[in-house]
C-alpha cells in the first residue's frame, strides 16, 4: 500500500509539474502580447512544431514591432545630430497696422499741400542664415552618441527576439510534455479498466472477494481523475501558447514534435566564449559602454569655444518717404568662462556613468557564463535520466505483466496489480519528463550561447 501511495504521488506530482513548467514560460510574455494579424478564420486549424511556434511569435509579436519603432526613433535622432554642423536658415515675416499717421504741410513755395510722415501699416521680412565653423567637436561627439543610441535600440530588438523565441519553444515543448503525460494517464486508465474487468470476472466465479472489485473500481476513479487533470493541462498550456504566438483563444491550435535540435558542440569554456560573442545581452551592455564613452567626450567639449558664421537680410515696406532694407554678416564666437563648475560636474557624472556601464558589462558576461554552465549541466543530467528512466519503464512493464499473471492464477492480491499499474505509469511519466527536460535543456543551452532557433526577422 505504501508503494501504491508513493507512486500515485509521483504521477500526480508529474502532472502538476508539467502544468507549472509550461505555464511559467507562457506567463513571462503574457503581458507583452497583443492582437496583431489574425487568421482569416478564428476556427482555422493551425499545427506547429516548437521551431514553427518560435518563428510565428517573431513574426506577429507586437513588442517586437514596438522595438522596431524604437530603432526608427533612434535613427531619427541620429539625423538630428547630423544637422548640428550644417547650414540653417529661417524666415520671419510680420504685418502690422499702425496709427495715428503724422503728416506735414508744405509751404506755398514748395507747392503747398501735405505729405504723410509715416505709414498706417508695416510689412517686414527677415532672412537669417547660420553656418557653424567650429564646434569644438560637439557635432562629431553628438553624432557618436546618436550612433550608439541606434546600436542600443537594435541590440534591444535582438534581446526581445531572443527571449521571445525561447519562450515560444518552451511553451510548445510544454504542450508536448502535457500531451505525453496525458497519454501515460490514458494508458493507466486502460490498464486499470482491464484489471476491473478481470476482478469482476473472478469475483463472479468466487475466486476473489468483492473487496477486490471495489478496490479496483476506486483505483479506476482515481486514474480517470488524473486523466482529466492531464487533459486540462494540455488545454491550459495550449492557451498560453496561443497567447505567445498571438492567436485568438478560440482558434484550433495543436503542437507536433519536430526535428530534435542538435546539442551545441564544444567544451564549456568554448561555449561561454561563443555566448559572449553572440548573446544580444552582452552586445547591449557593450553598446551601453560605448554610449557612456561618447557622453564623456561630449561633456568634455562643453569647455571648448564655438565659432559660427551668421548673416541676416531684412526688407521693410515703403514708409511715408521711402522703402528700406538692411543686411548684416559676421562671425560669432562663444567661449565659456565661468559656469560655477557645472560643466566639470557634468564630466565627472559622465565618467561615473561610464564606470557603472563597464561594471554592468562585466556582470552581464558573468550572468551569461552562469546560464551556459547551468544549461550545460542540465543537458548532461537529462541525458543520464533518460537512460535510467528507460530502464525503469522496462522493469515496471515486466512487473505489471508478472503481477497480472499471478493475479489471474490467484497467487497474489489485487493490490499488487494496482501497485504495478501505478508504478508503470510513474515510470512512464518519469521517462516523458526526462525526454522533454533534455529537449528543453538543449534549446536553453543553444539560446544561452546566442542561437535563435527560428527564421530571423530583421527590423526594416
Residue 176 corresponds to which cell in the numbers above?
A: 508536448
Taking the C-alpha atoms of residue 414 and residue 411, their distance in angstroms, rounded to an integer, is 10
Taking the C-alpha atoms of residue 415 and residue 218, their distance in angstroms, rounded to an integer, is 11
Long-range contacts, stretch 359-364, CB < 8 angstroms, 24+ apart: 360/285, 360/288, 361/282, 361/285, 361/286, 361/288, 361/289, 363/285, 364/281, 364/282, 364/284, 364/285
Among 442, 283, 437, 285, which residue's Cα sits nearest to residue 372? 442
Residue 248 corresponds to which cell in the numbers above?
A: 485568438
Taking the C-alpha atoms of residue 155 and residue 440, their distance in angstroms, rounded to an integer, is 25
Domains in the chain (CATH in brackets) are: 11-95+121-448 (1.20.1600.10)
Taking the C-alpha atoms of residue 377 and residue 379, their distance in angstroms, rounded to an integer, is 5
Q: In the prediction, which pLDDT does 376 show?
A: 94
Taking the C-alpha atoms of residue 188 and residue 230, their distance in angstroms, rounded to an integer, is 12
Residue 166 corresponds to which cell in the numbers above?
A: 525561447
Taking the C-alpha atoms of residue 188 and residue 182, their distance in angstroms, rounded to an integer, is 10
Q: In the prediction, which pLDDT does 145 show?
A: 86
Sheet holding 88-97, edge to edge: 88-97, 121-134, 306-316, 324-334
Query: At 310, is the secondary structure helix, strand, or coil?
Result: strand
Q: What dihedral angle (degrees, nearest 10) is formed by the CA atoms of 319, 321, 325, 326?
A: -110
Taking the C-alpha atoms of residue 55 and residue 172, their distance in angstroms, rounded to an integer, is 12
**Cβ atoms of residues 251 and 39 within 8 Å:** yes
Digitized pLDDT (tens) for each residue of the chain, 460 residues in all: 333 444 444 444 444 444 444 444 444 444 344 434 444 345 568 999 999 999 998 888 777 777 788 888 888 888 888 887 888 889 988 888 877 777 777 777 766 677 766 667 778 888 888 888 888 788 888 888 888 888 888 888 888 888 899 999 999 999 998 998 898 888 889 888 988 888 888 888 888 788 888 988 998 999 899 999 999 999 999 999 998 888 888 899 999 988 888 888 889 999 999 999 999 899 889 989 988 988 888 888 877 888 888 888 888 775 544 457 788 888 888 887 777 777 788 888 989 999 999 999 999 999 999 999 999 999 999 999 998 888 988 988 898 889 888 888 877 787 888 888 888 888 888 888 888 889 889 999 999 998 876 644 344 4
Residue 384 corresponds to which cell in the numbers above?
A: 543520464
Residue 302 corresponds to which cell in the numbers above?
A: 562643453
**Cβ atoms of residues 98 and 119 within 8 Å:** yes
**Cβ atoms of residues 280 and 155 within 8 Å:** yes
Q: In the prediction, which pLDDT does 88 show?
A: 86
Beta bridge partners of 369: none
Give counts: helices (H), strands (E), the chain: 9, 8
Residue 32 corresponds to which cell in the numbers above?
A: 507583452
* CA-to-CA dists, residue 158 to 62, 70, 165, 167, angstroms: 14, 12, 11, 14
Beta bridge partners of 123: 95
Q: In the prediction, which pLDDT does 112 show?
A: 65
Amino acid at each position: 500500500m505504501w508503494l501504491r501511495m508513493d507512486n500515485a504521488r509521483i504521477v500526480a506530482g508529474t502532472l502538476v509539474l508539467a502544468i507549472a513548467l509550461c505555464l511559467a514560460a507562457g506567463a513571462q510574455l503574457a503581458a507583452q502580447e497583443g492582437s496583431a494579424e489574425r487568421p482569416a478564420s478564428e476556427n482555422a486549424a493551425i499545427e506547429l512544431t516548437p521551431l514553427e511556434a518560435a518563428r510565428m511569435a517573431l513574426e506577429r509579436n507586437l513588442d517586437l514591432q514596438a522595438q522596431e519603432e524604437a530603432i526608427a526613433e533612434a535613427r531619427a535622432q541620429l539625423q538630428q545630430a547630423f544637422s548640428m554642423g550644417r547650414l540653417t536658415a529661417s524666415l520671419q515675416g510680420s504685418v502690422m497696422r499702425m496709427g495715428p499717421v503724422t503728416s506735414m504741410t508744405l509751404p506755398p513755395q514748395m507747392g503747398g499741400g501735405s505729405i504723410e510722415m509715416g505709414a498706417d501699416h508695416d510689412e517686414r521680412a527677415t532672412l537669417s542664415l547660420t553656418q557653424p565653423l567650429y564646434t569644438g567637436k560637439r557635432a562629431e561627439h553628438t553624432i557618436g552618441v546618436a550612433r550608439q543610441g541606434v546600436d542600443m535600440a537594435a541590440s534591444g530588438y535582438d534581446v526581445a527576439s531572443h527571449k521571445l523565441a525561447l519562450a515560444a519553444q518552451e511553451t510548445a515543448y510544454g504542450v508536448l510534455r502535457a500531451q505525453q503525460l496525458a497519454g501515460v494517464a490514458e494508458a493507466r486508465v486502460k490498464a486499470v479498466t482491464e484489471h476491473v474487468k478481470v476482478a469482476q470476472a473472478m469475483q463472479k466465479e468466487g475466486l476473489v472477494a468483492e473487496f477486490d472489485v471495489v478496490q479496483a473500481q476506486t483505483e479506476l476513479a482515481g486514474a480517470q481523475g488524473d486523466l482529466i487533470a492531464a487533459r486540462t493541462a494540455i488545454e491550459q498550456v495550449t492557451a498560453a501558447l496561443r497567447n505567445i504566438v498571438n492567436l485568438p483563444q478560440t482558434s484550433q491550435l495543436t503542437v507536433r514534435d519536430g526535428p530534435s535540435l542538435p546539442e551545441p558542440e564544444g567544451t564549456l569554456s568554448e561555449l561561454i566564449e561563443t555566448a559572449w560573442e553572440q548573446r544580444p545581452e552582452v552586445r547591449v551592455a557593450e553598446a551601453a559602454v560605448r554610449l557612456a564613452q561618447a557622453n564623456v567626450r561630449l561633456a568634455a567639449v562643453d569647455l571648448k569655444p564655438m565659432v559660427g558664421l551668421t548673416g541676416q537680410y531684412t526688407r521693410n515696406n515703403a514708409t511715408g518717404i521711402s522703402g528700406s532694407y538692411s543686411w548684416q554678416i559676421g562671425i560669432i564666437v562663444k567661449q565659456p568662462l565661468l559656469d560655477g563648475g557645472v560643466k566639470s560636474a557634468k564630466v565627472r557624472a559622465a565618467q561615473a556613468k561610464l564606470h557603472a556601464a563597464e561594471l554592468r558589462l562585466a556582470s552581464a558576461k558573468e550572468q551569461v557564463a552562469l546560464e551556459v554552465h547551468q544549461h550545460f549541466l542540465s543537458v548532461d543530467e537529462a541525458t543520464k535520466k533518460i537512460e535510467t528512466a528507460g530502464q525503469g519503464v522496462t522493469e515496471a512493464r515486466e512487473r505489471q505483466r508478472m503481477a497480472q499473471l499471478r493475479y489471474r492464477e490467484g497467487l497474489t492480491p489485487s493490490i499488487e496489480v494496482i501497485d504495478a499499474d501505478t508504478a508503470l505509469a510513474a515510470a512512464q511519466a518519469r521517462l516523458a519528463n526526462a525526454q522533454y527536460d533534455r529537449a528543453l535543456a538543449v534549446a536553453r543551452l543553444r539560446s544561452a550561447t546566442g542561437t535563435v532557433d527560428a527564421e530571423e526577422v530583421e527590423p526594416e
